Amino acid sequence: MDIVITGQQAWDVEIGSNCKNIALEFSKNNRVLYVNSPLDSASLWRNNKDPKVNKRRNIINKKQNGLEQIQENLWVFYPDRLIESINWIPSDFIFNILNKLNNRTFAKSIQSAIQQLNFKDFIHFNDNDIFRSFYLKDLLMPKLSIYYSRDFMLAVDYWKRHGKTFEPQLIAKSDICVANSTYLADYCKKYNPNSYYVGQGCDLDIFLDGMHSSEPKDIVSISSPRIGYVGALQSLRLDLDLLHHIATVKPEWTIILVGPEDNEFLQSDLHKLPNVIFTGSRSLDELPSYINSFDVCINPQLLNEVTIGNYPRKIDEYLAVGKPTVATKTDAMSVFANHVYLGKTKEDYINLIELALAENSVSKTEDRRAFASSHTWENSVGEIYKAMQKSL
């Protein structure tokens, strides 16, 4: 098949993304055109010294070719047309008129790349791009249009402003919707009955090898039980009060938090507690050894619009190392119910951590590792193929 992908994540952004992994998996058996989002006028003005913006400006000015082959069957396209910045407009009606113009500009640019590659009867895969891809089904006329929901975008102010109106419409008019969490699949199903949960892929090789790693030097002298978290320490997502409760109720436990802190974490009373250790940021290849040094891993999420539907990839990382894990119970966590201790209250966390410490065994460790290793991009994209076949 020929597949055209549009979305939020540009190929040349350093951090990884679901969409890039899906594109790579698609390209094993199909021709794939990965379209970066078009440069908008505000970004051009605001970031005019950014090398990435300069590259896009050169492509728009016809000084550079915007179509690049990354590997066999996979091309990345930098659109050669500029769109306008319109999200600040308060009226949905006026926004819609201007957004349609932006979509037409975007579609003309994509069409030129499609013609260069001689794509025929292609499939359009939209990675959560509510606005810039809203009219692409109408303008590009793909054989199949797919909307991929991987985050609850309406929890973010930028997307909420017009997304409350337009995302339900986009979901409804897409041929199928696929989602990486059960919560998001149910959300899409409200507007489109052809909505499917396709799971989440993870790159877990270094974590599956992590159970044989040695302890980090800054952990060696810390007493057990060690209760650990690895990831960004953001007050929007993590429950500061819960962490404080665990540390004060169980002073014999050491709480180890690995990752960069936002201002709320930096200023929190957790820094005053002797049994709470902040390591700061660590590189990806160091994380398995930290996880392996913990007796129990935790994911103390807050329950809010941002977190309730998200698939927590860190849980797979914990399980890949074989560690007993305690996490906040959400709809998205239901797929982990047989392998993770799930709780809702502060008291739940205390009781479940104690249970996780008491019940740990070699067989449970192996079960966790086997479960995590099933969450591959091959399996997730395989579920997307199944959803596509039902429609095709």
Domain boundary assignment for the chain:
2-201+377-391, 205-373
- Closest-CA residue to 267 (of 307, 235, 228): 235
Of the listed ranges 44-48, 65-69, 263-267, 324-328, the least confidently predicted one is: 44-48
Q: What is the pLDDT of residues 324-375, one digit of tens each?
A: 999 999 888 988 999 999 999 999 999 999 999 999 999 999 999 999 999 9
What is the structure's pLDDT at 203?
Answer: 83
What's the rounded mean pLDDT across residues 80-85?
95
Are the C-beta atoms of 247 and 225 separated by less than 8 Å? Answer: no
Non-local (6+) Cβ contacts of 11 within 8 A are 20, 34, 36, 70, 76
3-state secondary structure of 31: strand
- Closest-CA residue to 240 (of 286, 273, 287): 273
Q: Hey, what CATH class is 205-373 in? A: alpha beta
Q: What is the pLDDT of residues 148-207, one digit of tens each?
A: 999 888 888 888 999 999 999 999 999 999 999 999 999 999 999 999 999 999 888 899
12 pLDDT more than 80: yes
Are the C-beta atoms of 330 and 298 separated by less than 8 Å? Answer: no
Q: Hey, what CATH class is 2-201+377-391 in? A: alpha beta
| Banded pLDDT at 105 (limits 50, 70, 90) | very high
- Closest-CA residue to 314 (of 214, 216, 233, 223): 233
**Do 2-201+377-391 and 205-373 show the same overall fold?**
yes
- Closest-CA residue to 31 (of 1, 51, 69, 68): 1
| Tally of CB atoms within 10 A around 229 | 21
Q: What percent of the chain has pLDDT over 70?
A: 99
| Tally of CB atoms within 10 A around 259 | 20
Tokens of 147: 């909307």
| Tally of CB atoms within 10 A around 261 | 19
Decide: residue 289, CB within 10 A, 0-12 exposed, 13-18 middle, 19+ buried.
buried
Are β-strands 67-71 and 74-77 bridged in parallel, bridged antiparallel, or unpaired? antiparallel
3-state secondary structure of 327: strand
d(CA 83, CA 80): 10
Q: What is the pLDDT of residues 18-63, one digit of tens each?
A: 999 999 999 999 999 999 999 999 888 888 888 899 999 999 999 9
Average pLDDT for the chain: 94
| Banded pLDDT at 278 (limits 50, 70, 90) | very high
What is the structure's pLDDT at 390?
Answer: 93
Distances (CA, A) of 187 to 167, 177, 360: 11, 10, 36
Q: Where are the alpha helices (DSSP H) in 223-328?
A: 240-249, 263-266, 287-293, 313-321
- Residue identified by tokens 């390209």 is 27
What is the structure's pLDDT at 16?
Answer: 67
Straight-line distance from the first to the last Cα atom of the chain, in angstroms, rounded to the nearest whole number = 12
d(CA 28, CA 11): 18
Q: What is the pLDDT of residues 316-332, one digit of tens each?
A: 999 999 999 999 998 88
Decide: residue 387, CB within 10 A, 0-12 exposed, 13-18 middle, 19+ buried.
buried
Beta sheet of 74-77, edge-to-edge order: 67-71, 74-77, 31-35, 2-7, 123-127, 144-149, 176-179, 195-197
What's the rounded mean pLDDT across residues 219-242?
94
Are the C-beta atoms of 56 and 109 separated by less than 8 Å? Answer: no
273 pLDDT more than 90: yes
130 pLDDT more than 70: yes
Decide: residue 274, CB within 10 A, 0-12 exposed, 13-18 middle, 19+ buried.
exposed
The amino acid sitting at 259 is G
| Tally of CB atoms within 10 A around 285 | 10
237 pLDDT more than 70: yes
